[in-house]
Structure 1
Amino acid sequence: GLLNSLLEGTARLLLIIGYISAVSLMPDIRRVYAYHGAEHKTVNAHEAGAELTVEAVQKFTTAHPRCGTAFLLTVVVLGIFFYAPFGALPFGWRLASRLVLLPVLAGLSYELIRLSSRYSHIGVVRALSAPNLALQALTTREPDEGMVEVAIAALQALLKAEAESTAPADAAA
């Protein structure tokens, strides 16, 4: 029943955290995590209005409130409570409930991440977001200058493409 669902969800959460921790021991994954850190630093710098130079970007944190890692953790934690009422159902119905409700759970998690970012200046919101930021300590590393250069180039290319796609069409065309 309910207790079994809570235990299953907690086990799922611990497995995900354990997996992320274990793969972080691999040199190639540590490098990926450093690029992830460069991405966060660059986005943080951009959102703060800082100049996008390696020197300026390196001053920012590798944590970011709207990270995909935060989204994953939010989905898993909310899923523990979201699916708990369906724990006593036969397997087929439990599986169906998870599949049908997954888009709702994902949408709710996405909106909570966005809201927590917007209201991070409020103490209780900051406290509720702390586990998401703590998990990022596992999925990000301090990047080197070359990694930050790549992140800056990627963001600048994105911003350019975004500006071009939203620019009004040329009247002469």
Structure 2
Amino acid sequence: MKHIGGQAVIEGVMMKSDSKVAVSVRKKGKIITERMRYKPISKKFKILTIPIVRGFVNLIEMMVLGMKALTWSANQQADKKEEQISKKELGLTFFIATVATVLIFIVAPYYIAKLFIKQTNFLFNLVDGVFRIIIFFLYLIIIGRMADMKEIFRYHGAEHKSVNCYEAGVPLTPKNAKKYPKEHIRCGTSLLVIVIVVSILLFSLIKDPRWYVNIPIRILLIPLIAGVGYEAVKIAYRFKNNILTRIIIAPGIWTQKLTTKEPSLKQLEVAIKALNAVK
């Protein structure tokens, strides 16, 4: 059985297997599917398949594919060609999103923690991590109140339900998928929770109090943190029935309560269409 994952897009779902990517959206009542070209860079460079390295590479590929899928889905909903997003606008959006992520989740918590603790020690990094978690949850709560995001979160739930149904070996129909959980162990939300925990541990190793040294090192550690988080999620999925694993992944599953909502049968139909295209 292929490992399949994906993400919600505007009025639809993107699904990805080892060698295929497809995006399905509902446009004016009909489901349309776009198959995207995809060849993992790890196929060319075997060194990129080693643990931790493969995690960061995979996440970068998912980010790029995700942005392309979001752009395509947004363009399907645009009434006029002038309203469609260009490649330049896509690149600019990706750059702004990356910079904003670094500022919000690395720089901001660092300076907030500095208001309370002057020394760069484990306690400082623990407080820094707590503020990172608070910012993360506030972000999810705020965007979760937006009407457009509620719809995307429903498609996120549809993605998980259809993948859970597929992995259970049950025929993929909207009614069958409806019975399965809207949370999934391999979800990016769970990965982010693990990444925050790993970052607290790794950032505690940085002893230099100078911001112009400390913050760049934190940024340089992102690939390692992402890679470790990715491997942790893979291990958790492999031993998903283990009681200890269930305890460890519980915070990530709980967090998905904020990023997923119960989908309709029509939304499940869209998710299944995308999944079938990459099987």
For 1:62 and 1:80, locate their aligned partners in 2 and report how far apart those are by CA, in whole Å.
29
- Kept in 2: contact 1:6–1:80 (CA 8 A): yes
Quote the residue 2:202 is aligned against: 82
Which amino acid letter does the alignment assign opposite residue 216 of structure 2?
A
1:114 lines up with 2:230 in the alignment? no
Bigger fraction of residues in helix:
1
| Matched residue, 2:141 | 21
Q: CA–CA distance in 1 between the matches of 2:200 and 2:174? A: 41
Counterpart Cα distance in 1 of 2:202 and 2:271? 36
> Corresponding residue for 1:36?
156
Q: 1:100 maps to what in 2? A: 220
Q: Distance in 1 between matches of 2:202 and 2:146?
A: 34
* Other-structure match for 2:244: 124
Q: Work out which of the residue numbers 57, 61, 77 in structure 1 matches 2:181.
A: 61
Which ranges of 4 or more aligned residues in structure 1 deviate by more than 4 Å? none
Which deviations, in whole Å up to 9, do the C-alpha atoms of 1:122-160 show, x marking residues without a partner?
A: 11111010000000000000000110000000111122x
CA distance in 2, matches of 1:25, 1:87: 39
Q: Distance in 2 between matches of 1:62 and 1:87?
A: 41
TM-score, normalising length: structure 1: 0.88
Counting aligned pairs with the same residue, the percent is: 35
Residues 52-108 of structure 1 show CA distances to partners (whole Å, capped at 9, x for unaligned) of 111111110001000011111111121112111215431122122212221111110
The runs of 5 or more residues in structure 1 that have no matched partner are: 160-173
2:265 is aligned, of 145, 166, 170, to 145
Q: What is the Cα deviation at residue 120 of structure 1?
A: 1.6
Matches of 1:114 and 1:41 in 2, distance apart? 19
Judge which range, 150-159 or 96-105, deviates more: 96-105
Aligned residues: 159
Which moved further from structure 2: 92-101 or 10-19?
92-101
CA contact (8 A) 1:45 1:51 kept: yes
Aligned-residue CA RMSD (Å): 1.1
Q: Distance in 2 between matches of 1:139 and 1:80?
A: 23
Once the two structures are superposed, residues 13-39 of structure 1 have per-residue CA deviations (whole angstroms, 9 ceiling, x without a partner) of: 111111101211112111110000000
